[in-house]
Amino acid sequence: MRRRTLLAASAAGTLSAAGPLLSACVPGRRRAADGRITLRFQSLAWQQESIEANKQLVAEWNAAHPDIRVDYVQGSWDSVHDQLLTSFEGGEAPDIIHDATDDLADFAYGGYLADLTDLLPQRLKDEIPPRTWQTATFAGGIHGVPFLQEPRVLIANRALLERSRVRIPTPERPWSWAEFEAAAGELTGDGTYGVAWPLKEPVSATLNLSLSTGGKVFHRGADGKVTVRFDAADQRVPRVIHDQLGGDRSAARTTLGMGGSDTLPGFFGGKYAMVPLGFSYRQQIVQQAPKGFAWTVLPSPAGPGGDQRQGVSPQTLSIAADSPYQREAARFIDFFLRPPHMVRLARGDWMLPTGLTALRDPALHTRRHGWATGAALAGRLRPAPAQSVRGYPEWKDKVATPALQEYYSGAIGMAELRKRLVEDGNLVLARYQR
Protein backbone atom coordinates (compact mmCIF):
# COMPACT_ATOMS: atom_id res chain seq x y z
CA MET A 1 0.00 0.00 0.00
CA ARG A 2 2.83 2.38 0.93
CA ARG A 3 4.51 1.65 -2.37
CA ARG A 4 1.34 2.40 -4.26
CA THR A 5 0.92 5.66 -2.42
CA LEU A 6 4.51 6.57 -3.15
CA LEU A 7 4.07 5.85 -6.83
CA ALA A 8 0.87 7.80 -6.90
CA ALA A 9 2.43 10.70 -5.08
CA SER A 10 5.49 10.82 -7.32
CA ALA A 11 3.41 10.61 -10.47
CA ALA A 12 1.00 13.24 -9.20
CA GLY A 13 3.93 15.43 -8.21
CA THR A 14 5.43 15.24 -11.67
CA LEU A 15 2.05 16.02 -13.13
CA SER A 16 1.41 19.05 -10.99
CA ALA A 17 4.87 20.35 -11.87
CA ALA A 18 3.86 20.27 -15.49
CA GLY A 19 1.39 23.04 -14.74
CA PRO A 20 -1.54 24.15 -16.80
CA LEU A 21 -0.43 22.33 -19.94
CA LEU A 22 -1.79 19.18 -18.45
CA SER A 23 -5.53 19.39 -18.23
CA ALA A 24 -6.50 16.19 -16.55
CA CYS A 25 -9.37 14.37 -18.13
CA VAL A 26 -9.89 11.14 -16.22
CA PRO A 27 -12.55 8.68 -17.29
CA GLY A 28 -15.93 9.23 -15.80
CA ARG A 29 -17.88 6.65 -13.88
CA ARG A 30 -19.81 4.34 -16.11
CA ARG A 31 -23.02 4.30 -14.08
CA ALA A 32 -24.61 7.71 -13.98
CA ALA A 33 -26.37 9.09 -10.92
CA ASP A 34 -29.76 8.29 -12.47
CA GLY A 35 -28.81 4.63 -12.82
CA ARG A 36 -28.05 4.67 -16.52
CA ILE A 37 -25.32 2.30 -17.62
CA THR A 38 -22.69 2.91 -20.26
CA LEU A 39 -21.13 -0.06 -22.05
CA ARG A 40 -18.06 0.18 -24.22
CA PHE A 41 -18.22 -1.77 -27.48
CA GLN A 42 -14.93 -2.08 -29.30
CA SER A 43 -15.56 -2.80 -32.95
CA LEU A 44 -12.94 -3.77 -35.51
CA ALA A 45 -15.07 -2.84 -38.51
CA TRP A 46 -12.79 -1.09 -40.97
CA GLN A 47 -14.47 -0.90 -44.36
CA GLN A 48 -16.71 2.06 -44.97
CA GLU A 49 -19.92 0.05 -45.36
CA SER A 50 -19.08 -2.07 -42.36
CA ILE A 51 -18.36 0.91 -40.10
CA GLU A 52 -21.65 2.47 -41.17
CA ALA A 53 -23.57 -0.73 -40.41
CA ASN A 54 -21.98 -1.04 -36.98
CA LYS A 55 -22.55 2.57 -36.04
CA GLN A 56 -26.14 2.49 -37.24
CA LEU A 57 -26.91 -0.56 -35.12
CA VAL A 58 -25.36 1.05 -32.07
CA ALA A 59 -27.40 4.19 -32.70
CA GLU A 60 -30.58 2.12 -33.02
CA TRP A 61 -29.80 0.34 -29.76
CA ASN A 62 -29.13 3.63 -27.96
CA ALA A 63 -32.38 5.09 -29.26
CA ALA A 64 -34.35 2.07 -28.04
CA HIS A 65 -32.49 1.61 -24.73
CA PRO A 66 -31.85 4.95 -23.08
CA ASP A 67 -30.99 3.22 -19.79
CA ILE A 68 -28.16 1.14 -21.30
CA ARG A 69 -26.03 3.34 -23.47
CA VAL A 70 -23.42 1.77 -25.75
CA ASP A 71 -20.31 3.75 -26.68
CA TYR A 72 -18.83 2.74 -30.00
CA VAL A 73 -15.05 2.45 -29.78
CA GLN A 74 -13.07 1.87 -32.92
CA GLY A 75 -10.32 -0.76 -32.66
CA SER A 76 -7.96 -2.12 -35.26
CA TRP A 77 -7.29 -5.64 -36.48
CA ASP A 78 -3.67 -4.69 -36.75
CA SER A 79 -3.11 -4.23 -33.03
CA VAL A 80 -6.09 -5.80 -31.33
CA HIS A 81 -4.21 -8.57 -29.54
CA ASP A 82 -1.66 -6.32 -27.81
CA GLN A 83 -4.25 -3.71 -27.03
CA LEU A 84 -6.65 -6.22 -25.48
CA LEU A 85 -3.92 -7.96 -23.54
CA THR A 86 -2.82 -4.76 -21.83
CA SER A 87 -6.43 -3.70 -21.29
CA PHE A 88 -7.25 -7.02 -19.63
CA GLU A 89 -4.16 -6.86 -17.45
CA GLY A 90 -5.00 -3.33 -16.42
CA GLY A 91 -8.68 -4.04 -15.83
CA GLU A 92 -9.76 -1.51 -18.44
CA ALA A 93 -11.00 -3.77 -21.21
CA PRO A 94 -14.09 -2.81 -23.23
CA ASP A 95 -17.30 -4.56 -22.11
CA ILE A 96 -18.09 -5.94 -25.54
CA ILE A 97 -15.17 -7.11 -27.63
CA HIS A 98 -15.06 -7.71 -31.36
CA ASP A 99 -12.33 -10.19 -32.34
CA ALA A 100 -11.86 -13.48 -34.19
CA THR A 101 -11.88 -17.01 -32.86
CA ASP A 102 -8.22 -17.63 -33.70
CA ASP A 103 -7.27 -14.82 -31.31
CA LEU A 104 -9.50 -15.88 -28.44
CA ALA A 105 -7.82 -19.02 -27.10
CA ASP A 106 -5.23 -17.34 -24.89
CA PHE A 107 -7.73 -14.77 -23.62
CA ALA A 108 -10.32 -17.45 -22.89
CA TYR A 109 -7.90 -19.79 -21.14
CA GLY A 110 -6.44 -16.79 -19.31
CA GLY A 111 -9.83 -16.07 -17.77
CA TYR A 112 -10.23 -12.68 -19.41
CA LEU A 113 -13.42 -13.48 -21.28
CA ALA A 114 -16.76 -14.22 -19.65
CA ASP A 115 -18.35 -17.61 -20.22
CA LEU A 116 -21.45 -16.76 -22.21
CA THR A 117 -23.18 -20.13 -21.78
CA ASP A 118 -25.71 -18.81 -19.29
CA LEU A 119 -25.78 -15.25 -20.52
CA LEU A 120 -26.96 -15.73 -24.07
CA PRO A 121 -30.65 -16.21 -24.92
CA GLN A 122 -31.76 -19.52 -26.39
CA ARG A 123 -32.84 -17.73 -29.58
CA LEU A 124 -29.25 -16.81 -30.37
CA LYS A 125 -27.93 -20.22 -29.38
CA ASP A 126 -30.37 -21.92 -31.73
CA GLU A 127 -29.63 -19.52 -34.53
CA ILE A 128 -25.99 -20.54 -34.91
CA PRO A 129 -25.09 -24.16 -35.80
CA PRO A 130 -23.24 -26.25 -33.20
CA ARG A 131 -20.19 -26.68 -35.46
CA THR A 132 -19.85 -22.88 -35.52
CA TRP A 133 -20.24 -22.58 -31.75
CA GLN A 134 -17.32 -24.99 -31.53
CA THR A 135 -15.04 -22.31 -32.97
CA ALA A 136 -15.57 -20.14 -29.88
CA THR A 137 -15.77 -22.87 -27.26
CA PHE A 138 -12.75 -23.22 -25.02
CA ALA A 139 -12.44 -25.54 -22.03
CA GLY A 140 -16.15 -26.25 -22.21
CA GLY A 141 -17.24 -22.61 -22.08
CA ILE A 142 -18.52 -20.33 -24.83
CA HIS A 143 -16.26 -17.29 -24.91
CA GLY A 144 -17.50 -15.52 -27.99
CA VAL A 145 -20.45 -15.40 -30.34
CA PRO A 146 -19.24 -16.23 -33.85
CA PHE A 147 -21.21 -14.02 -36.23
CA LEU A 148 -19.31 -13.49 -39.48
CA GLN A 149 -17.16 -15.93 -41.43
CA GLU A 150 -15.57 -16.18 -44.82
CA PRO A 151 -14.66 -19.19 -46.90
CA ARG A 152 -11.58 -19.16 -49.06
CA VAL A 153 -12.64 -19.10 -52.71
CA LEU A 154 -11.01 -18.90 -56.11
CA ILE A 155 -11.52 -15.54 -57.74
CA ALA A 156 -11.13 -16.13 -61.47
CA ASN A 157 -10.77 -14.06 -64.60
CA ARG A 158 -13.98 -15.01 -66.37
CA ALA A 159 -12.76 -14.20 -69.88
CA LEU A 160 -9.68 -16.41 -69.53
CA LEU A 161 -11.73 -19.15 -67.93
CA GLU A 162 -14.37 -19.20 -70.64
CA ARG A 163 -11.77 -19.08 -73.39
CA SER A 164 -10.03 -22.16 -72.02
CA ARG A 165 -11.34 -25.69 -72.26
CA VAL A 166 -11.62 -26.25 -68.54
CA ARG A 167 -14.85 -27.19 -66.85
CA ILE A 168 -16.12 -24.37 -64.70
CA PRO A 169 -16.66 -25.69 -61.17
CA THR A 170 -19.75 -25.01 -59.06
CA PRO A 171 -20.42 -25.53 -55.35
CA GLU A 172 -22.33 -28.66 -56.32
CA ARG A 173 -19.56 -29.92 -58.60
CA PRO A 174 -16.27 -28.45 -57.42
CA TRP A 175 -12.90 -29.29 -58.87
CA SER A 176 -10.91 -31.98 -57.18
CA TRP A 177 -7.37 -30.93 -56.32
CA ALA A 178 -6.14 -32.87 -59.34
CA GLU A 179 -8.64 -31.09 -61.61
CA PHE A 180 -7.55 -27.79 -60.13
CA GLU A 181 -3.92 -28.56 -60.96
CA ALA A 182 -4.90 -29.49 -64.50
CA ALA A 183 -7.03 -26.36 -64.90
CA ALA A 184 -4.23 -24.11 -63.64
CA GLY A 185 -1.89 -25.78 -66.13
CA GLU A 186 -4.42 -25.26 -68.90
CA LEU A 187 -4.81 -21.59 -68.06
CA THR A 188 -1.05 -21.01 -68.03
CA GLY A 189 0.59 -19.52 -71.10
CA ASP A 190 1.01 -16.31 -73.09
CA GLY A 191 2.37 -14.49 -70.06
CA THR A 192 -0.44 -15.69 -67.82
CA TYR A 193 -0.08 -17.94 -64.81
CA GLY A 194 -2.96 -20.23 -64.00
CA VAL A 195 -2.94 -19.28 -60.36
CA ALA A 196 -1.31 -16.81 -57.96
CA TRP A 197 -1.01 -18.02 -54.40
CA PRO A 198 -0.56 -15.04 -52.06
CA LEU A 199 1.66 -16.73 -49.51
CA LYS A 200 2.87 -13.96 -47.28
CA GLU A 201 0.87 -15.65 -44.52
CA PRO A 202 0.99 -19.26 -45.69
CA VAL A 203 -0.06 -21.06 -42.51
CA SER A 204 -3.77 -20.39 -42.19
CA ALA A 205 -4.37 -20.87 -45.93
CA THR A 206 -2.50 -24.17 -45.95
CA LEU A 207 -4.08 -25.55 -42.78
CA ASN A 208 -7.62 -24.44 -43.54
CA LEU A 209 -7.64 -25.79 -47.09
CA SER A 210 -6.07 -29.06 -45.92
CA LEU A 211 -9.26 -29.91 -44.09
CA SER A 212 -10.68 -30.98 -47.46
CA THR A 213 -8.03 -33.68 -47.81
CA GLY A 214 -8.48 -34.86 -44.25
CA GLY A 215 -5.60 -32.79 -42.88
CA LYS A 216 -5.65 -31.97 -39.23
CA VAL A 217 -2.07 -31.17 -38.10
CA PHE A 218 -3.08 -30.70 -34.45
CA HIS A 219 -4.10 -33.85 -32.61
CA ARG A 220 -5.53 -33.76 -29.10
CA GLY A 221 -4.68 -36.80 -26.97
CA ALA A 222 -6.72 -38.45 -24.23
CA ASP A 223 -4.90 -36.29 -21.69
CA GLY A 224 -6.10 -33.16 -23.48
CA LYS A 225 -2.63 -32.29 -24.71
CA VAL A 226 -2.15 -31.29 -28.33
CA THR A 227 0.65 -32.56 -30.54
CA VAL A 228 1.60 -31.73 -34.10
CA ARG A 229 1.59 -34.38 -36.81
CA PHE A 230 2.12 -33.86 -40.51
CA ASP A 231 0.81 -36.97 -42.21
CA ALA A 232 -0.03 -37.75 -45.83
CA ALA A 233 -3.44 -36.05 -45.59
CA ASP A 234 -1.79 -32.91 -44.24
CA GLN A 235 0.79 -32.94 -47.01
CA ARG A 236 -1.59 -33.10 -49.98
CA VAL A 237 -2.42 -29.38 -50.32
CA PRO A 238 1.10 -28.06 -49.62
CA ARG A 239 2.42 -30.49 -52.22
CA VAL A 240 -0.02 -29.19 -54.84
CA ILE A 241 1.04 -25.59 -54.17
CA HIS A 242 4.71 -26.57 -54.17
CA ASP A 243 4.38 -28.41 -57.48
CA GLN A 244 2.52 -25.54 -59.10
CA LEU A 245 5.25 -23.14 -58.05
CA GLY A 246 8.28 -25.25 -58.82
CA GLY A 247 7.03 -28.07 -61.05
CA ASP A 248 4.79 -27.14 -63.97
CA ARG A 249 5.16 -23.44 -63.09
CA SER A 250 1.41 -22.89 -63.33
CA ALA A 251 1.66 -20.66 -60.27
CA ALA A 252 3.58 -17.38 -60.18
CA ARG A 253 6.59 -17.47 -57.90
CA THR A 254 6.53 -13.69 -57.53
CA THR A 255 3.45 -13.85 -55.32
CA LEU A 256 5.18 -15.98 -52.68
CA GLY A 257 5.79 -12.93 -50.52
CA MET A 258 2.56 -11.15 -51.36
CA GLY A 259 -0.58 -10.56 -49.39
CA GLY A 260 -3.96 -11.02 -51.04
CA SER A 261 -4.35 -7.37 -52.06
CA ASP A 262 -0.93 -7.33 -53.67
CA THR A 263 -1.98 -9.92 -56.23
CA LEU A 264 -4.93 -7.89 -57.48
CA PRO A 265 -3.04 -5.60 -59.91
CA GLY A 266 -1.61 -8.69 -61.62
CA PHE A 267 -5.02 -10.34 -61.61
CA PHE A 268 -6.64 -7.29 -63.22
CA GLY A 269 -3.77 -7.06 -65.69
CA GLY A 270 -4.32 -10.63 -66.89
CA LYS A 271 -1.12 -12.02 -65.37
CA TYR A 272 -2.99 -14.47 -63.17
CA ALA A 273 -6.11 -16.37 -64.18
CA MET A 274 -7.12 -17.34 -60.63
CA VAL A 275 -6.32 -16.09 -57.15
CA PRO A 276 -7.30 -18.02 -53.99
CA LEU A 277 -8.59 -15.35 -51.62
CA GLY A 278 -10.93 -14.80 -48.71
CA PHE A 279 -14.55 -14.18 -49.69
CA SER A 280 -14.42 -10.56 -48.48
CA TYR A 281 -11.78 -9.59 -51.04
CA ARG A 282 -14.66 -9.19 -53.48
CA GLN A 283 -15.21 -5.74 -52.05
CA GLN A 284 -11.74 -4.64 -53.17
CA ILE A 285 -12.22 -6.27 -56.53
CA VAL A 286 -15.50 -4.43 -57.11
CA GLN A 287 -13.84 -1.18 -56.08
CA GLN A 288 -10.59 -1.57 -57.97
CA ALA A 289 -11.25 -3.70 -61.05
CA PRO A 290 -10.92 -1.86 -64.37
CA LYS A 291 -14.17 -1.10 -66.12
CA GLY A 292 -15.38 -4.08 -68.12
CA PHE A 293 -13.20 -6.57 -66.23
CA ALA A 294 -15.22 -9.77 -65.84
CA TRP A 295 -14.55 -11.97 -62.85
CA THR A 296 -16.26 -14.80 -61.08
CA VAL A 297 -16.17 -16.65 -57.77
CA LEU A 298 -15.39 -20.38 -57.80
CA PRO A 299 -15.43 -22.79 -54.88
CA SER A 300 -12.09 -24.00 -53.56
CA PRO A 301 -11.06 -27.49 -54.74
CA ALA A 302 -12.50 -30.48 -52.93
CA GLY A 303 -10.72 -33.44 -51.42
CA PRO A 304 -11.49 -37.16 -51.81
CA GLY A 305 -15.20 -37.85 -52.16
CA GLY A 306 -15.95 -34.22 -52.94
CA ASP A 307 -15.03 -33.15 -49.43
CA GLN A 308 -15.33 -29.36 -49.45
CA ARG A 309 -14.68 -28.74 -45.78
CA GLN A 310 -12.40 -25.89 -44.96
CA GLY A 311 -11.36 -24.24 -41.75
CA VAL A 312 -12.50 -20.78 -40.77
CA SER A 313 -11.97 -18.46 -37.85
CA PRO A 314 -15.20 -16.49 -37.56
CA GLN A 315 -15.36 -12.98 -36.19
CA THR A 316 -16.76 -12.94 -32.68
CA LEU A 317 -18.34 -10.79 -30.04
CA SER A 318 -17.19 -11.51 -26.48
CA ILE A 319 -17.77 -10.00 -23.06
CA ALA A 320 -14.91 -9.06 -20.74
CA ALA A 321 -14.83 -11.19 -17.61
CA ASP A 322 -14.40 -8.15 -15.40
CA SER A 323 -17.25 -6.19 -16.97
CA PRO A 324 -19.73 -5.35 -14.21
CA TYR A 325 -22.56 -5.34 -16.75
CA GLN A 326 -22.33 -8.74 -18.39
CA ARG A 327 -26.08 -9.30 -18.64
CA GLU A 328 -26.62 -5.92 -20.25
CA ALA A 329 -23.75 -6.60 -22.64
CA ALA A 330 -25.33 -9.95 -23.56
CA ARG A 331 -28.62 -8.15 -24.27
CA PHE A 332 -26.81 -5.81 -26.62
CA ILE A 333 -25.14 -8.74 -28.41
CA ASP A 334 -28.54 -10.40 -28.79
CA PHE A 335 -29.90 -7.20 -30.35
CA PHE A 336 -26.83 -6.66 -32.51
CA LEU A 337 -27.00 -10.17 -33.94
CA ARG A 338 -30.69 -10.45 -34.76
CA PRO A 339 -31.02 -12.01 -38.21
CA PRO A 340 -31.73 -8.80 -40.17
CA HIS A 341 -28.88 -7.07 -38.34
CA MET A 342 -26.54 -9.96 -39.07
CA VAL A 343 -27.38 -9.62 -42.74
CA ARG A 344 -26.52 -5.91 -42.64
CA LEU A 345 -23.22 -6.65 -40.93
CA ALA A 346 -22.42 -9.43 -43.40
CA ARG A 347 -23.13 -7.24 -46.40
CA GLY A 348 -21.07 -4.43 -44.89
CA ASP A 349 -18.07 -6.74 -44.46
CA TRP A 350 -18.70 -8.78 -47.63
CA MET A 351 -18.72 -11.94 -45.52
CA LEU A 352 -21.21 -14.65 -44.62
CA PRO A 353 -23.30 -14.54 -41.46
CA THR A 354 -23.19 -17.55 -39.19
CA GLY A 355 -26.88 -17.36 -38.29
CA LEU A 356 -29.07 -19.82 -40.16
CA THR A 357 -31.97 -17.38 -40.64
CA ALA A 358 -29.63 -14.61 -41.77
CA LEU A 359 -27.94 -16.99 -44.18
CA ARG A 360 -31.27 -17.62 -45.91
CA ASP A 361 -31.73 -13.94 -46.72
CA PRO A 362 -32.22 -13.54 -50.50
CA ALA A 363 -29.70 -10.69 -50.57
CA LEU A 364 -26.98 -13.25 -49.85
CA HIS A 365 -28.05 -15.63 -52.61
CA THR A 366 -27.76 -13.35 -55.57
CA ARG A 367 -25.29 -14.39 -58.26
CA ARG A 368 -24.02 -10.82 -58.41
CA HIS A 369 -20.50 -10.58 -56.99
CA GLY A 370 -20.48 -14.30 -56.24
CA TRP A 371 -22.67 -14.10 -53.13
CA ALA A 372 -24.51 -17.29 -54.08
CA THR A 373 -21.30 -19.32 -54.40
CA GLY A 374 -20.13 -18.23 -50.98
CA ALA A 375 -23.50 -18.83 -49.36
CA ALA A 376 -23.56 -22.34 -50.81
CA LEU A 377 -20.26 -23.09 -49.11
CA ALA A 378 -21.41 -21.99 -45.66
CA GLY A 379 -22.42 -25.51 -44.66
CA ARG A 380 -18.91 -26.81 -45.34
CA LEU A 381 -17.13 -24.42 -43.03
CA ARG A 382 -15.52 -25.91 -39.92
CA PRO A 383 -13.42 -24.60 -37.05
CA ALA A 384 -9.89 -23.89 -38.22
CA PRO A 385 -7.57 -26.70 -37.06
CA ALA A 386 -5.52 -24.38 -34.87
CA GLN A 387 -8.56 -22.88 -33.21
CA SER A 388 -8.17 -23.92 -29.62
CA VAL A 389 -4.49 -24.77 -29.55
CA ARG A 390 -2.52 -22.88 -26.97
CA GLY A 391 0.79 -21.72 -28.35
CA TYR A 392 -0.49 -21.71 -31.91
CA PRO A 393 0.54 -18.05 -32.55
CA GLU A 394 4.14 -18.85 -31.57
CA TRP A 395 4.15 -22.09 -33.56
CA LYS A 396 2.81 -20.17 -36.54
CA ASP A 397 5.27 -17.28 -36.34
CA LYS A 398 8.43 -19.08 -35.30
CA VAL A 399 8.07 -22.48 -36.89
CA ALA A 400 5.35 -22.90 -39.50
CA THR A 401 5.58 -19.62 -41.41
CA PRO A 402 9.31 -19.78 -42.17
CA ALA A 403 9.18 -23.52 -42.80
CA LEU A 404 6.29 -23.30 -45.25
CA GLN A 405 7.80 -20.29 -46.99
CA GLU A 406 11.06 -22.17 -47.48
CA TYR A 407 9.21 -25.24 -48.69
CA TYR A 408 7.13 -23.29 -51.20
CA SER A 409 10.18 -21.44 -52.46
CA GLY A 410 11.94 -24.76 -53.05
CA ALA A 411 14.65 -24.21 -50.45
CA ILE A 412 13.68 -27.31 -48.47
CA GLY A 413 11.85 -30.52 -49.29
CA MET A 414 8.83 -32.20 -47.76
CA ALA A 415 10.91 -34.27 -45.32
CA GLU A 416 12.58 -31.20 -43.87
CA LEU A 417 9.25 -29.35 -43.73
CA ARG A 418 7.70 -32.22 -41.83
CA LYS A 419 10.65 -32.40 -39.45
CA ARG A 420 10.45 -28.72 -38.62
CA LEU A 421 6.69 -28.53 -38.24
CA VAL A 422 6.55 -31.60 -36.04
CA GLU A 423 9.78 -31.63 -34.02
CA ASP A 424 10.25 -27.89 -33.54
CA GLY A 425 6.50 -27.40 -33.35
CA ASN A 426 5.98 -29.89 -30.54
CA LEU A 427 8.73 -28.25 -28.52
CA VAL A 428 6.85 -24.96 -28.77
CA LEU A 429 3.46 -26.45 -27.88
CA ALA A 430 4.91 -28.40 -24.96
CA ARG A 431 5.85 -25.15 -23.25
CA TYR A 432 2.21 -24.10 -23.23
CA GLN A 433 0.90 -27.41 -21.93
CA ARG A 434 3.01 -28.12 -18.87
Using CB under 8 A, list all residues that contact other proteins: 4, 7-8, 11-12, 14-15, 18, 21-27, 40, 46-48, 51, 71-79, 82-83, 86-87, 89-92, 94, 100, 200-201, 259-261, 264-266, 268-269, 271, 278, 280-281, 284, 287-291
Measure Cα distances from 25 to 5, 22, 28, 172 in Å: 21, 9, 9, 59
The answer to whether 417 and 407 are in contact (CB under 8 A) is: yes
What DSSP assignment string belongs to 87-156?
HHHHT---SEEEEEGGGTHHHHHTT-B---TTTS-HHHHHHS-HHHHGGGEETTEE--EEEEE--EEEEE
d(CA 406, CA 414): 10
Backbone angles phi, psi at 243, to 5 degrees: -70, -35
CB of 69 to other proteins, least distance (A): 14
CB of 11 to other proteins, least distance (A): 5
d(CA 91, CA 110): 13
The answer to whether 69 and 61 are in contact (CB under 8 A) is: no
CB of 140 to other proteins, least distance (A): 28
DSSP 8-state class, residue 22: -
- Considering beta carbons, is residue 260 or 425 the nearer one to other proteins? 260
CB of 210 to other proteins, least distance (A): 18
What DSSP assignment string belongs to 335-356?
HHTSHHHHHHHHHHHT-EES-H
The answer to whether 193 and 181 are in contact (CB under 8 A) is: no
CB of 6 to other proteins, least distance (A): 10
Question: Which residue in 282, 249, 248 sits closest to 267, CA to CA?
Answer: 282
- Considering beta carbons, is residue 71 or 243 the nearer one to other proteins? 71
d(CA 431, CA 424): 12
CA angle 107, 113, 115 (to 5 degrees): 130
CB of 239 to other proteins, least distance (A): 24
- Considering beta carbons, is residue 67 or 92 the nearer one to other proteins? 92
325-340 in b/e burial notation, b at 16+ Cβ within 10 A?
Answer: bbebbbbbbbbbbbbe
- Considering beta carbons, is residue 400 or 412 the nearer one to other proteins? 400
- Considering beta carbons, is residue 81 or 419 the nearer one to other proteins? 81
CB of 82 to other proteins, least distance (A): 7
- Considering beta carbons, is residue 225 or 271 the nearer one to other proteins? 271
- Considering beta carbons, is residue 256 or 302 the nearer one to other proteins? 256
The 10 Å Cβ neighbour count of residue 164 is 16
CB of 269 to other proteins, least distance (A): 3
CB of 290 to other proteins, least distance (A): 6
- Considering beta carbons, is residue 75 or 171 the nearer one to other proteins? 75
Which three-class secondary structure state does DSSP give residue 305?
Answer: helix
- Considering beta carbons, is residue 47 or 134 the nearer one to other proteins? 47
- Considering beta carbons, is residue 54 or 213 the nearer one to other proteins? 54
CB of 35 to other proteins, least distance (A): 22
The 10 Å Cβ neighbour count of residue 324 is 13
Question: Which residue in 224, 223, 206 sits closest to 215, CA to CA?
Answer: 206
